[in-house]
């Protein structure tokens, strides 16, 4: 009789944990002793993707750096909801200065640690897409250029949510925000603008650039751990759905992030020294409509009149990502 | 509070802010009814024993299984596994091979000699069971576990009933059957074989407090078929019984079996094994409409059994049958076409269903008979207080598993009746639907099909046809269970909560919600793979 080696675990690696796996093979988040870097009592909205992403990333960084981490936070939702004076939700060394200077402050912290010979302490800069893509972009580029020993993590929720959902350089085309209303012949954010910061970071040829989402914890944790293996400037871009700004159900945060990856709209990949070295294949492909229709910021594409022309343009962008990052390797020949 | 230099905010001081007050709905862990458990005629808790087996705790899994069903090794061979038909995994890739894991556990128990201790104190009640088939044995087992003194009487010289005399040994090897019956005997059930009961009243007068009738349906139904004097017409039940007794009935080179049920298939396959060149099933309707289990039909075809659907036997003569072709009408009933053909056949075996030998209850006027079967109330009691009946002799689907389920149900009701109580079944929770699950988290993994002996080789002998899983494949199969409606500690809720409001209690202990901080976002519900968390409105 043929035998099948026992290697299958009932939820593969897709769930957070697995009682059948040895503890060492479990995710950081399945560990009862995880850091809980961002703990309970913070004032993020129900179902906040950023609160989730920040805890995932910082807990993984703490494990990778033997609990020796200093985080420098830009202004934004994450900073505001985690530290309303006089409370803090952080259980790690954490520093906030200004909206635009988090990469520069992180550079300074890294320089100070080097001067003191404390290079075992690792520095993480973090902020939302506003601080990263727009306001802190100059210092970020400088940090990359100098190859300062900092991992910078951008939690991308695709607009300025804290101040009332204004467009940022990371807002996707056709999305409605307070400053890109769903009016006129081309409603929502215009096509052809905005910045792709992971690719800009790659253009600096820094040691490591990666993207991740809150829908794939294992992948996110692996990328944080991988980033901590490098010295020098590293960049991690994490997609974090925002129920408030995206007009989605609070329970759908993880699902929407998953649909972003499975539609191809948000490619998950990693790059070293400017070259893409791997991408996460799409497992169950969906059309972009499946992703868009769960979000109020795209509702004008479906009513009062369905805008197939706009949906098709977004689909074309997803298809381009699939080809560009080889997200469907088995069908690469067909595309 | 004094803080060190440059420190402005105390670590985790946000714990003072109880964000649970924002909540309008709260999550709640639930245990729902998995479809497999709901479909099991024997009421097994399939999800529970698969879950237990998943980490290799096979004895514990087996003990969880036998709470409901004393025959895992038999079930793993002869059950038509309705659990697998409804398995949620079937909608993802392929149903979990529940039946094969059950067989693995059953065989392992026999190999290791695991026994079943009777821990309940003796009740002093004596119960008589008439019929040592699956139903009677199951009732005996459950009643014995409850502490009653149980006696089984059967007309045959060996226990097993239709499991022995109706099911050929290529489907159920006798060493397996004997081992699982012996385990019941070891529990202290008294067997009185070669002991046909003709008068139930006399048996009651022997000092029994309750009686359970489970004599099955043993008489082959006859259909009137005009036949010449030299035609050889046999009855399926008798053929199988003779083979079980070690006698080879004279069937000839070409055997025609008339009927479309599992018994017909068993006879045709047995005829091939006895050396017939040709065994053919003749059935008046189509394969789709045949009551036989489709796997059985498939295996028979693989062994070379011929199938003649939409045909009836109009006349039987020595060496030849006259067959009429049928057609299904609009309602799906077969109608004659007037087209005839001759079919060579040395013998015709009738497998047209079985009837209950009701002589047992003839002198019990309170026991009502309807349509040839004994009428029982919802508690399985006949019209005569203290006399219960189950299995093939009451209206039911006639399978071993249903019989085993009847035995259990009867045992619970007999126990309650003896104690002058009423058996109350626990309310059944809502049955899980596929839409309750989040299948994303289950890796794709097709089912480890049990190897089958190659058709031609197996047709020539009585070796067991379906071979078992070994440990690694059984484990693989058990782990394909999606654990519908019951937490399997995947840690997803613990991970996906943006507010750290899920408390992990440790292995085997599950999780709790920290309602001081849970904002009621519902991500844990959406991302629970097995649908084991629901949202309920917060009281305002």
Concatenating the DSSP letter of every residue in B356-423 gives --GGGGTT-TTS-EETTEE---TTSB-SSTTEEE-GGGSSS--SHHHHHHHHHHHHHHHHHHHTT---
Q: What is the pLDDT of residues B252-290, one digit of tens each?
A: 999 999 999 999 999 999 999 988 999 999 999 999 999
Reported confidence tier of residue B367, pLDDT bands at 50, 70, 90: very high
DSSP character for A133?
A: I
Residue A131 has pLDDT above 80, yes or no: yes
Q: Which of A4, A9, A10 to mutate to test the interface with B (most CBs of B within 10 A)?
A: A10
**Cβ distance of B521 and A253 shorter than 8 Å:** yes
**CB contact B6 to A (< 8 Å):** no
Q: What is the mean pLDDT of residues B141-145?
A: 98
pLDDT of amino acid A31: 94
pLDDT of amino acid A20: 81
- Which of A138-152, A245-259, B158-172 comes out lowest in average pLDDT? B158-172
Reported confidence tier of residue A8, pLDDT bands at 50, 70, 90: very low
- DSSP bridge partners of B325: B311
Q: How many percent of chain A have pLDDT more than 90?
A: 90
pLDDT of amino acid B449: 65
Distance CA B257, CA B236 (A): 8
Q: What is the pLDDT of residues A217-233, one digit of tens each?
A: 999 999 999 999 999 99
The CATH number fitting domain A34-329, selected from 3.40.50.970, 3.80.10.10, 3.90.76.10, 3.40.50.1980: 3.40.50.970
Q: Where are the beta strands (DSSP E) in B134-269?
A: 149-153, 190-192, 210-213, 219-220, 233-235, 254-258
What are A212's two structure tokens? 């991740």
Distance CA A47, CA A57 (A): 17
Residue A334 has pLDDT above 50, yes or no: no
To 10 degrees, the CA torsion angle through B195, B200, B201, B207?
60
**CB contact B57 to A (< 8 Å):** no
Q: What is the pLDDT of residues B153-192, one digit of tens each?
A: 999 999 999 999 999 988 999 999 999 999 999 999 999 9
Closest to A14 (Cβ–Cβ): which among B16, B440, B489? B440
Residue A11 has pLDDT above 80, yes or no: no
Buried b (16+ CB within 10 A) or exposed e, A62-101: bbbbeebbbbbbbbbbbbbbbbeeebbbbbbbbbbbebbb
- Per the CB < 8 A criterion, the answer to whether B279 and B257 are in contact is yes
Residue B112 has pLDDT above 90, yes or no: yes
Pick the more confident residue, B405 or A12. B405
pLDDT of amino acid B92: 87
**Cβ distance of A88 and B482 shorter than 8 Å:** no
Give the chain B residue nearest A86 (alpha carbons): B9
Residue A3 has pLDDT above 60, yes or no: no
Pick the more confident residue, B411 or B472. B411
Closest to B441 (Cβ–Cβ): which among A14, A243, A250? A14
Please list every residue in chain B whose beta carbon sits closer than 8 Å to the beta carbon of residue A46: 22, 519-521
**Cβ distance of A47 and B479 shorter than 8 Å:** no
Reported confidence tier of residue B30, pLDDT bands at 50, 70, 90: very high
Q: Which of A7, A34, A40 to mutate to test the interface with B (most CBs of B within 10 A)?
A: A40
Closest to A15 (Cβ–Cβ): which among B490, B501, B519? B490
The number of C-alpha atoms within 13 Å of B368 and in the hemisphere containing its C-beta is 10
Question: What rounded mean pLDDT belongs to chain B?
Answer: 92
**Phi, psi (5° rounding) for residue B145?**
-65, -25
Q: What is the mean pLDDT of residues B424-433?
A: 93
Reported confidence tier of residue B362, pLDDT bands at 50, 70, 90: confident
**CB contact B359 to A (< 8 Å):** no
Q: Which of B7, B51, B523, B528 to mutate to test the interface with A (most CBs of A within 10 A)?
A: B523
Q: So what's the ipTM on this one?
A: 0.94
**CB contact B481 to A (< 8 Å):** yes
**Cβ distance of A250 and B523 shorter than 8 Å:** yes
Give the chain A residue nearest B56 (alpha carbons): A20
In angstroms, what separates the C-alpha of B11 from chain A's closest C-alpha?
A: 6
Distance CA A65, CA A58 (A): 10
Q: Which of B491, B498, B522 to mutate to test the interface with A (most CBs of A within 10 A)?
A: B498
Distance CA B117, CA B176 (A): 20
Question: What rounded mean pLDDT belongs to chain A?
Answer: 94
- Per the CB < 8 A criterion, the answer to whether A74 and A127 are in contact is yes
Give the chain B residue nearest A55 (alpha carbons): B498
Q: What is the pLDDT of residues A180-220, one digit of tens each?
A: 999 999 999 999 999 999 999 999 999 999 999 999 999 99
Q: What is the mean pLDDT of residues A29-36?
A: 95
Among B474, B464, B472, B528, which residue's Cα sits nearest to residue B496? B528
DSSP character for A156?
A: E
Residue B339 has pLDDT above 70, yes or no: yes
Give the chain B residue nearest A6 (alpha carbons): B472
Q: What is the mean pLDDT of residues B504-531?
A: 96
Closest to A4 (Cβ–Cβ): which among B448, B481, B501? B448
Domains of chain B as residue ranges with CATH = 13-31+487-537 (3.30.70.20), 35-115+428-478 (1.10.1060), 126-219+355-418 (3.50.50.60), 241-354 (3.50.50.60)
Reported confidence tier of residue B2, pLDDT bands at 50, 70, 90: confident
Residue B450 has pLDDT above 80, yes or no: no
- Per the CB < 8 A criterion, the answer to whether B458 and B498 are in contact is no
Q: Is A98 helix (H, G, I), strand (E, B) or coil?
A: coil
What angle (nearest 5°) sits at the alpha carbon of residue B410, between those of residues B407 and B411?
85
Q: Where are the domains of chain A?
A: 34-329
pLDDT of amino acid A6: 38
Reported confidence tier of residue B467, pLDDT bands at 50, 70, 90: confident
- Per the CB < 8 A criterion, the answer to whether A43 and B489 are in contact is no
pLDDT of amino acid B416: 97
pLDDT of amino acid B140: 98
Pick the more confident residue, A113 or B477. A113
Residue A2 has pLDDT above 60, yes or no: no
Within 10 angstroms of residue B333's Cβ, the number of other Cβ atoms is 12
Does the CA dihedral B346-B350-B351-B355 come out positive or negative? negative
Q: What is the mean pLDDT of residues B370-378?
A: 93
To 10 degrees, the CA torsion angle through B400, B401, B403, B409?
170
Reported confidence tier of residue A7, pLDDT bands at 50, 70, 90: very low
**CB contact B62 to A (< 8 Å):** no
**CB contact B435 to A (< 8 Å):** no
Among A266, A258, A46, A256, which residue's Cα sits nearest to residue A154? A266
Q: What is the pLDDT of residues B237-254, one digit of tens each?
A: 999 999 988 888 888 999
**Cβ distance of B500 and A36 shorter than 8 Å:** yes
- DSSP bridge partners of B504: B511
What angle (nearest 5°) sits at the alpha carbon of residue B50, between those of residues B45 and B53?
130
B107: Cβ–Cβ under 8 A, 6 or more apart, which residues? Answer: B73, B76, B176, B468
């Amino acid at each position: 009789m043929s035998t099948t080696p026992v290697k299958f675990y009932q939820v593969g690696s897709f769930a957070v944990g697995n009682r059948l796996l040895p503890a060492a093979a479990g995710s950081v988040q399945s560990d009862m002793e995880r850091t809980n870097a961002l703990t309970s009592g913070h004032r993020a909205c129900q179902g906040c993707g950023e609160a989730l992403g920040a805890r995932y990333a910082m807990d993984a960084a703490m494990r990778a750096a033997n609990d020796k981490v200093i985080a420098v936070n830009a202004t934004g939702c994450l900073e505001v909801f985690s530290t309303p004076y006089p409370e803090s939700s952080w259980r790690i060394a954490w520093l906030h200065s200004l909206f635009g200077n988090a990469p520069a402050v992180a550079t300074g912290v890294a320089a100070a640690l080097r001067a003191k010979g404390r290079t075992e302490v690792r520095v993480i800069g973090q902020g939302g897409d506003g601080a990263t893509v727009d306001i802190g972009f100059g210092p970020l580029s400088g940090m990359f250029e100098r190859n300062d020993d900092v991992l910078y993590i951008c939690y991308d929720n695709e607009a300025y949510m804290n101040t009332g959902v204004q467009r940022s350089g990371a807002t996707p085309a056709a999305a409605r925000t307070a400053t890109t209303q769903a009016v006129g012949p081309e409603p929502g954010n215009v096509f052809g603008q905005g910045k792709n910061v992971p690719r800009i970071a790659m253009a600096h040829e820094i040691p490591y650039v990666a993207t991740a989402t809150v829908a794939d914890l294992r992948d996110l944790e692996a990328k944080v751990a991988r980033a901590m293996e490098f010295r020098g400037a590293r960049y991690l871009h994490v997609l974090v759905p925002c129920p408030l700004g995206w007009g989605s159900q609070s329970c759908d945060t993880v699902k929407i992030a998953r649909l972003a990856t499975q539609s191809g709209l948000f490619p998950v990949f990693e790059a070293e020294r400017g070259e893409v070295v791997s991408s996460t294949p799409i497992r169950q492909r969906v059309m972009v409509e499946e992703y868009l229709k769960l979000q109020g910021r795209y509702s004008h594409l479906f009513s009062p009149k369905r805008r197939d022309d706009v949906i098709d343009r977004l689909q074309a962008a997803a298809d381009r990502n699939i080809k560009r990052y080889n997200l469907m390797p088995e069908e690469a020949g067909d595309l | 509070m004094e803080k060190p230099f440059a420190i402005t905010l105390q670590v985790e001081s946000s714990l003072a802010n109880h964000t649970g007050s924002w909540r309008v709905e709260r999550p709640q862990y639930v245990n729902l009814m998995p479809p497999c458990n709901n479909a099991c005629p024997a009421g097994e808790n399939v999800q529970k024993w698969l879950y237990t087996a998943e980490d290799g705790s096979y004895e514990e899994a087996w003990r969880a299984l036998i709470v409901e069903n004393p025959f895992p090794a038999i079930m793993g061979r002869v059950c038509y596994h309705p659990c697998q038909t409804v398995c949620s995994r079937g909608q993802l890739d392929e149903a979990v091979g529940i039946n094969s894991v059950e067989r693995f556990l059953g065989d392992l128990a026999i190999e290791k000699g695991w026994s079943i201790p009777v821990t309940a104190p003796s009740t002093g009640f004596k119960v008589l069971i008439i019929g040592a088939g699956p139903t009677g044995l199951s009732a005996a087992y459950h009643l014995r576990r409850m502490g009653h003194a149980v006696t089984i009487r059967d007309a045959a010289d060996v226990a097993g009933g239709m499991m022995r005399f109706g099911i050929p040994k290529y489907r159920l090897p006798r060493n397996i059957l004997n081992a699982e019956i012996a385990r019941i005997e070891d529990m202290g059930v008294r067997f009185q074989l070669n002991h046909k009961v003709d008068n139930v009243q006399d048996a009651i007068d022997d000092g029994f407090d309750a009686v359970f009738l489970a004599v099955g349906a043993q008489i082959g139904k006859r259909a009137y078929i005009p036949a010449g004097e030299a035609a050889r017409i046999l009855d399926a039940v008798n053929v199988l019984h003779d083979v079980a007794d070690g006698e080879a009935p004279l069937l000839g080179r070409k055997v025609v079996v008339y009927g479309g049920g599992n018994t017909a298939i068993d006879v045709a396959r047995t005829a091939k094994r006895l050396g017939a060149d040709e065994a053919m099933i003749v059935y008046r309707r189509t394969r789709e409409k045949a009551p036989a289990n489709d796997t059985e039909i498939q295996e028979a075809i693989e062994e070379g059994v011929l199938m003649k659907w939409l045909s009836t036997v109009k006349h039987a003569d020595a060496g030849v049958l006259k067959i009429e072709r049928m057609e299904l009408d609009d309602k799906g009933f077969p109608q004659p076409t007037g087209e005839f053909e001759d079919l060579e056949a040395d013998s015709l075996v009738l497998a047209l269903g079985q009837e209950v030998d009701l002589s047992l209850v003839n002198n019990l006027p309170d026991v009502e008979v309807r349509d040839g079967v004994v009428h029982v109330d919802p508690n399985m009691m006949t019209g005569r207080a203290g006399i219960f009946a189950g299995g093939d002799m009451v209206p039911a689907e006639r399978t071993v598993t249903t019989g085993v389920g009847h035995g259990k149900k009867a045992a619970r009701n007999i126990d309650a009746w003896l104690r002058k109580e009423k058996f109350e079944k626990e309310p059944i929770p809502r049955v899980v639907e596929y839409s309750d699950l989040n299948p994303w988290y289950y890796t794709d993994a097709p089912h480890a099909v049990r190897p089958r002996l190659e058709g031609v080789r197996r047709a020539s002998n009585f070796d067991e046809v379906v071979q078992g899983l070994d440990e690694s494949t059984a484990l693989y199969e058990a782990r394909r269970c999606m654990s519908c409606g019951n937490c399997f500690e995947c840690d997803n809720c613990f991970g996906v909560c943006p507010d750290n409001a899920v408390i992990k209690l440790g292995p085997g202990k599950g999780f709790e919600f920290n309602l001081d901080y849970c904002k009621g976002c519902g991500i844990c519900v959406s991302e629970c793979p097995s649908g084991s968390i629901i949202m309920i409105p917060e009281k305002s």
